[in-house]
Amino acid sequence: MDKRDQIIDAAIGLFAEQGFDKTSISAICEKVGVSKGLVFHHFKNKDDLLREVFIKITDIVRNSGERSPAITDPKARLVAYIESIFTAMSVPDYKVLYQLNFNVMVQPATRTLLLDLIEERVLLMRQATEEVFNYMGYKNSAIVSQMFVAEIDGIALNYLFSVEEFPLDEIKTEFIKKYT
């Protein structure tokens, strides 16, 4: 794999684990085994690297979402949708992405930096959700899906950052019940 890609991947991991600010370029270099110079050869600065990281994550999320099979029953489709989300949340590889996501959205500095990319991603998720709710015949699907997305965010947040064990499965069951 390309050194440039290796750097991005290492950055994804470290940014997620330690946060953007607490991750030094040196740490990334050590992980990949390249010089600091190379990072600045490929990326204008640290902020630029973060943007590229964010773009790559969005791509991963986008591509992973496309394998939903064609389910015709509206209710079954919603259930499948919710389940795919909860599954993604608990896959180790994806956990990291979620963590990074929150990290970056909540931090004022990084948030500003990525505002356009965040907006793009939010839209992406809202559209996918709205479609499902439309298919179920909701009249106020716009509001409902905005709430739905928010709630999923909250559950992910509590799951990923909970102090004690988080009963994801029970929550999922309850969540599905509420929406069907």
Partner DNA sequence: GATGAATGAGAATTCATTCAT
Partner DNA sequence: TATGAATGAATTCTCATTCAT
- Residue 3 binding result from DNA, its own copies, none, given CB thresholds of 5 to 8 Å by partner type: DNA
Of residues 10 through 29, those in contact with DNA by CB under 7 A are: 22-27
Q: Should residue 173 be labelled a site residue for DNA when binding is judged by CB under 7 A?
A: no
Pick one of DNA, its own copies, none as the site partner of residue 9 (Cβ within 5 to 8 A by kind).
Answer: none
Distance CA 33, CA 85 (A): 35
Span near its own copies by CB under 8 A; candidates 4-12, 27-35, 59-67, 113-121: 113-121
Going from the C-alpha of 48 to that of each of 11, 39, 114, the distances in angstroms are 12, 10, 10
Give the pair of three-digit tokens for residue 84: 């795919």
Instruction: Say how many residues make up the chain.
Output: 180
Residue 88 binding target from DNA, its own copies, none, CB below 5 to 8 Å by type: none
Tell whether residue 73 is a contact of its own copies (CB under 8 A): no
51 lies in the binding site for DNA (CB under 7 A)? no
Q: Collect all residues with Cβ–Cβ distance below 8 Å to 6 and sequence separation of at least 6.
A: 32, 34
Q: List helix spans (H) across 66-167.
A: 74-90, 92-106, 108-135, 141-161
CA distances from residue 20 to 30, 103, 110, 154 in whole angstroms, order as listed: 16, 8, 8, 21
Q: How far apart are CA 109 and CA 107, in angstroms?
A: 6
Q: How many residues sit in the footprint of DNA (CB under 7 A)?
A: 22
Is 9 near DNA (CB under 7 A)? no
Q: Is 83 in the site for its own copies (CB under 8 A)?
A: no
Say whether residue 180 binds its own copies (CB under 8 A).
no
Q: Does residue 107 interact with its own copies by CB under 8 A?
A: yes
What residues make contact with DNA under the rule CB under 7 A?
2-4, 22-27, 33-38, 40-42, 44-47
